[in-house]
């Protein structure tokens, strides 16, 4: 056997092993059943998702029907990953055929009432948040042989980065909660209908929409110019093979890892109503991108909510800076700190793919080091290595050969990454992890102190769902870097280009936003940090009265002060976007939560979060949403605060839906930024084979000498 043959066999064996291994490690959203078999499994009959993205935020509504095929009443426990910055606005359960909207209680109180209702055999439902990991929905009872229908609605900001918007419907479990995984098994199969419908309403022209891992999705535009996306197991069974009505248009080549592509084809079967359908598994995120047209202006948008006669209003300001950050041209040092702990198993193929592509994009004057960590850290390279073709290829292979295992000592990994920095060269740490630090130092403050010792930026790639996003975002912000979330269903090349684009340009550091002219307060985030090329700045806050204001954005680029300014009016009344209040409240809660992570669970912060969550009816670590029958709500004297708020929100949503998307830009007359927005990548284009064929006859003439009768001019 030749050396080459041995190498091929070894590679194939490794790949097969990795694939087989990662297959066994697929975790997903689904109905939980104890692994010990003490309770029989329920079924998810239908799963319907409706998403509307407009005015800078997304509203996601998930409706599910659980089915109990057994001859005794059972409790259903559904668990799904927490979507990024998602504020649960509604939990509804159909009781006796009528929808009943839930109300928010303190967590322990909600659990107590739920258990009481459950013990009494009455219908009840509970949505709880398990820190940054999962939303857990308990429903009791699902009656023997019957269905139970529930709906969860959540709001989240929907930003655009470098002209590309991204929405993720998270389904793939991060696999980071080992205790939970040891106890429960998740039934992620939908036996009936799966539907995913999304509508993108934008006053700025969107010229492409792309679902990298769902090529069968139907993508259309309606008469209002809204983008309408549809995915279902009925249509999907054929759509997987059919040509989409609108082809992929985004410039990012498709490169999802094999593990993520494997579940794209549903398996056909017949469902209860006799129609041919296909079962669908909730084990793969649905990632969707939309791309804004090139050359749009840098801008300031404002969405406000202020009821007529009310003294106080709430606003969301979105600043999209123009492209005036210069490229960085010198060679740089990159330290890759890679998580190889056991929880990375299902994501490691994506990690190696991303790292390989990143290394291949380096310039010859760049250098890199690779540090790996699980329960301890070790350096794969021995010091910095020049990013030439041979080194890149060699180290890429070595990274790919690693098998993830053990726990996660993130602190040790970062500490080793910070060693041996060259003070004469610009350096950056690229941290790739699912961010569940569970060994060694785990306190957020210690991480921040570690990074504050060195002047180095941390760029964090957060892999998968259920990652410890609060910790990772906090330490990244402390280093003035940026964090990007990556799903297994993401377009890795696209994410990589996005990151490379940011690190290859100067950034605006120490960013401050001043609003003068009217009274504003409760701004969140309290500290902004840095703004990288393509990033939007989103600020929530309260304002009093109305009138013209001066808004000033300032910061430093390469040590030099930079200020942008504009003037516009805050409205005296605006009722079309009541959701802004909850988005403000949730952003405020996240700020307080970050403080708790940083300095410990101070009683006043915990109370602060609880108060805000109760006022705005939000599910947090300290509050849960409970549904019980209307009679029980009345009997227990529960104020229907959330029901009232939801009615206000749904009325506004219905009003918006019948109108074309309106521009929320407020700086048109006095633009804050003079340059257009940055866009994704650059342009080029080459001559091609077709040109070659065109020129062939001319070349033939020339070669045969018939074309020598030339005159020069």
Partner 1 sequence: MASKTSNNHNIELNGHPIHRSAPWLTLTMSALALLLYLGAGPAAPALIFDRVAVTHGQWWRLVTGHLIHCDLSHLGWDVAGLLILGWLFEDRFSRARFLTVMASGMLAVNAWLWWGQAPLRYCGLSGLLNTLLAAGLIQQWRNSRSGLAVAVGFAASLKIALECLHDQALFTATAWPSVPQAHAAGLWAGIVISLVWWNQLLFSTFREKVDNYRP
295: contact with partner 1 by CB under 8 A: yes
Residue the block writes with tokens 């689904």: 30
Figure out which of the listed residues 5, 687, 704, 705 binds partner 1, where binding follows CB under 8 A. 687
Q: Do residues 459 and 499 touch, judged by C-beta distance below 8 A?
A: yes
Q: Do residues 126 and 625 touch, judged by C-beta distance below 8 A?
A: yes
Distance CA 670, CA 483 (A): 32
294: contact with partner 1 by CB under 8 A: yes
Distance CA 188, CA 186 (A): 6
The region of 80-88, 214-222, 282-290, 700-708 touching partner 1 under the rule CB under 8 A is 700-708
705: contact with partner 1 by CB under 8 A: no
Q: What angle do CA 117, 74, 110 make, to 5 degrees?
A: 30
> For partner 1, which is the closer residue by CB, 175 or 555?
555
Cα dihedral 342/346/349/352 (nearest 10) = -40
323: contact with partner 1 by CB under 8 A: yes
> For partner 1, which is the closer residue by CB, 274 or 295?
295
Figure out which of the listed residues 37, 97, 274, 364 binds partner 1, where binding follows CB under 8 A. 364
Figure out which of the listed residues 15, 16, 573, 699 binds partner 1, where binding follows CB under 8 A. 699
**Burial tier of 603 (Cβ tally within 10 Å: 0-12, 13-18, 19+):** exposed
Q: What are phi and psi of 564, to 5 degrees?
A: -120, 145
> For partner 1, which is the closer residue by CB, 637 or 682?
682
The region of 5-13, 305-313, 378-386, 698-706 touching partner 1 under the rule CB under 8 A is 698-706
Distance CA 167, CA 169 (A): 7
363: contact with partner 1 by CB under 8 A: yes
> For partner 1, which is the closer residue by CB, 116 or 294?
294
Figure out which of the listed residues 269, 270, 310, 326 binds partner 1, where binding follows CB under 8 A. 326
Please enumerate in sequence order all residues whose Cβ is within 8 A of that of 449, keeping only pairs 6 or more positions apart, or say none. none
423: contact with partner 1 by CB under 8 A: no
**Burial tier of 683 (Cβ tally within 10 Å: 0-12, 13-18, 19+):** exposed
Task: Please state the closest distance from residue 308 (CB atom) to partner 1, in A.
Answer: 41
> For partner 1, which is the closer residue by CB, 293 or 405?
293
As given in the structure block, the two tokens for residue 711 are 């005159």
Is the bond preceding residue 525 a cis peptide, omega within 30 degrees? yes
Figure out which of the listed residues 521, 688, 704, 705 binds partner 1, where binding follows CB under 8 A. 688
657: contact with partner 1 by CB under 8 A: no
Figure out which of the listed residues 97, 274, 685, 705 binds partner 1, where binding follows CB under 8 A. 685
Of the candidates 67, 24, 28, the residue with the CA atom closest to the CA atom of residue 187? 28
Task: Determine the size of the site formed for partner 1 (CB under 8 A).
Answer: 44
Q: Do residues 254 and 491 touch, judged by C-beta distance below 8 A?
A: yes
The region of 62-70, 469-477, 603-611, 702-710 touching partner 1 under the rule CB under 8 A is 702-710
The region of 111-119, 435-443, 594-602, 693-701 touching partner 1 under the rule CB under 8 A is 693-701
Figure out which of the listed residues 37, 274, 309, 682 binds partner 1, where binding follows CB under 8 A. 682
9: contact with partner 1 by CB under 8 A: no
686: contact with partner 1 by CB under 8 A: yes
> For partner 1, which is the closer residue by CB, 132 or 564?
564
678: contact with partner 1 by CB under 8 A: yes
**Burial tier of 50 (Cβ tally within 10 Å: 0-12, 13-18, 19+):** middle
692: contact with partner 1 by CB under 8 A: yes
Q: Can you give the three-state secondary structure of 273-329, one letter per residue?
A: CCCEEEEEECCCCEEEEEEECCCCECEEEEEEEECCCCCEEEEEEEEECCCCCCECC
Strand-pair category, 508-516 with 529-531: antiparallel
258: contact with partner 1 by CB under 8 A: no
Q: Do residues 345 and 402 touch, judged by C-beta distance below 8 A?
A: no
Query: How would you list the strands of the sheet with 547-557, edge to edge?
Result: 529-531, 508-516, 547-557, 560-570
What is the footprint of partner 1 within residues 88-147 (CB under 8 A)?
none
> For partner 1, which is the closer residue by CB, 119 or 699?
699
> For partner 1, which is the closer residue by CB, 123 or 248?
248
> For partner 1, which is the closer residue by CB, 61 or 426?
426
The residues of the shown chain that bind partner 1, judged by CB under 8 A, are 251, 253, 293-295, 323-329, 363-364, 504, 675-676, 678-679, 681-692, 694-695, 697-699, 701-702, 707, 709-713
């Amino acid at each position: 056997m030749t050396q080459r043959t041995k190498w091929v066999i070894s590679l194939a064996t490794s790949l097969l092993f990795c694939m087989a291994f990662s297959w066994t490690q697929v975790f997903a959203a689904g109905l939980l059943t104890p692994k010990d078999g003490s309770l029989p499994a329920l079924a998810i009959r239908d799963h319907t998702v409706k998403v509307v993205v407009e005015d800078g935020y997304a509203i996601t509504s998930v409706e599910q029907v659980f089915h109990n095929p057994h001859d005794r009443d059972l409790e259903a426990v559904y668990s799904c990953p927490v979507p990024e910055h998602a504020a649960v606005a509604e939990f509804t359960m159909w009781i006796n055929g009528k929808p009943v909207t839930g109300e928010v209680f303190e967590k322990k109180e909600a659990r107590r009432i739920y258990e009481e209702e459950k013990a009494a055999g009455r219908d009840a439902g509970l949505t709880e948040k398990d820190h940054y990991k999962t939303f857990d929905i308990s429903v009791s009872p699902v009656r023997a042989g019957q269905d139970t229908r529930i709906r969860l609605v959540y709001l989240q900001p929907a930003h655009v980065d470098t002209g590309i918007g991204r929405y993720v419907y998270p389904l793939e479990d991060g696999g980071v909660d080992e205790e939970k995984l040891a106890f429960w098994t998740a039934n992620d199969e939908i036996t009936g209908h799966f539907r995913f419908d999304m509508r993108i309403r934008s006053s700025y022209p969107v010229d492409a929409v792309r679902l990298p891992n769902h090529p069968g999705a139907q993508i259309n535009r309606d008469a209002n110019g809204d983008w309408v996306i549809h995915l279902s197991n009925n249509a999907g069974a054929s759509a997987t093979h059919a040509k989409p009505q609108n082809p992929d248009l985004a410039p990012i080549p498709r490169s999802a890892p094999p593990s993520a592509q494997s579940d794209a084809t549903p398996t056909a079967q017949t469902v209860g109503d006799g129609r041919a359908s296909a079962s669908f598994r909730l084990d793969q995120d649905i990632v969707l991108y939309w791309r804004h047209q090139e050359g749009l202006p840098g801008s300031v948008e404002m969405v406000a909510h202020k009821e007529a006669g009310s003294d106080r209003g709430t606003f969301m300001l979105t600043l999209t800076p123009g492209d005036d950050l210069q490229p960085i041209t010198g060679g740089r040092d990159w330290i890759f700190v890679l998580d190889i702990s056991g929880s990375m198993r299902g994501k490691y193929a994506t990690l190696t793919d991303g790292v390989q592509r990143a290394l291949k994009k380096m310039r010859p004057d760049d250098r890199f080091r690779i540090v790996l960590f699980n329960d301890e850290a070790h350096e794969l390279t021995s010091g910095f290595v020049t990013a030439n073709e041979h080194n890149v290829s060699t180290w890429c292979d070595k990274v790919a050969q690693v098998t993830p295992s053990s726990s996660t000592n993130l602190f040790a990994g970062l500490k080793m990454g910070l060693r041996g920095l060259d003070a004469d060269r610009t350096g950056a740490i690229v941290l790739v992890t699912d961010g569940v630090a569970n060994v060694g130092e785990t306190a957020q403050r210690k991480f921040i102190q570690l990074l504050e010792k060195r002047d180095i930026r941390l760029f964090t790639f957060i892999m998968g769902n259920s990652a410890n996003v609060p910790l990772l975002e906090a330490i990244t912000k402390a280093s003035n870097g940026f964090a990007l979330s990556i799903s297994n269903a993401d377009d890795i090349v696209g994410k990589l280009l996005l990151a490379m684009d940011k690190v290859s340009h100067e950034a605006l550091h120490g960013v401050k936003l001043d609003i003068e002219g009217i009274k504003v307060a409760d701004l969140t985030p309290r500290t902004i940090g840095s703004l990288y090329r393509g990033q939007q700045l989103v600020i929530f806050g309260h304002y009093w009265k109305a009138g013209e204001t001066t808004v000033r954005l300032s910061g430093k680029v390469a040590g030099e002060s930079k200020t942008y300014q504009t003037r516009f009016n805050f409205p005296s009344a605006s009722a079309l976007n009541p959701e802004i209040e909850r988005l403000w409240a949730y952003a405020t809660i996240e700020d307080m939560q970050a403080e708790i992570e940083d300095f410990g669970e101070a009683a006043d912060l915990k109370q602060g979060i609880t108060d805000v969550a109760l006022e705005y009816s939000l599910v947090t670590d300290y509050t849960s949403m409970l549904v019980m029958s209307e009679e029980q709500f009345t009997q227990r004297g529960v104020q229907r605060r959330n029901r009232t708020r939801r009615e206000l929100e749904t009325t506004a949503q219905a009003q918006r839906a019948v109108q074309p998307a309106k521009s929320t830009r407020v700086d048109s007359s006095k633009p804050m930024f003079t340059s257009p927005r940055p866009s994704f990548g650059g342009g080029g284009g080459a001559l091609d084979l077709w040109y070659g064929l065109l020129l062939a006859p001319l070349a033939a003439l020339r070669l045969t000498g018939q074309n020598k009768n030339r005159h020069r001019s």
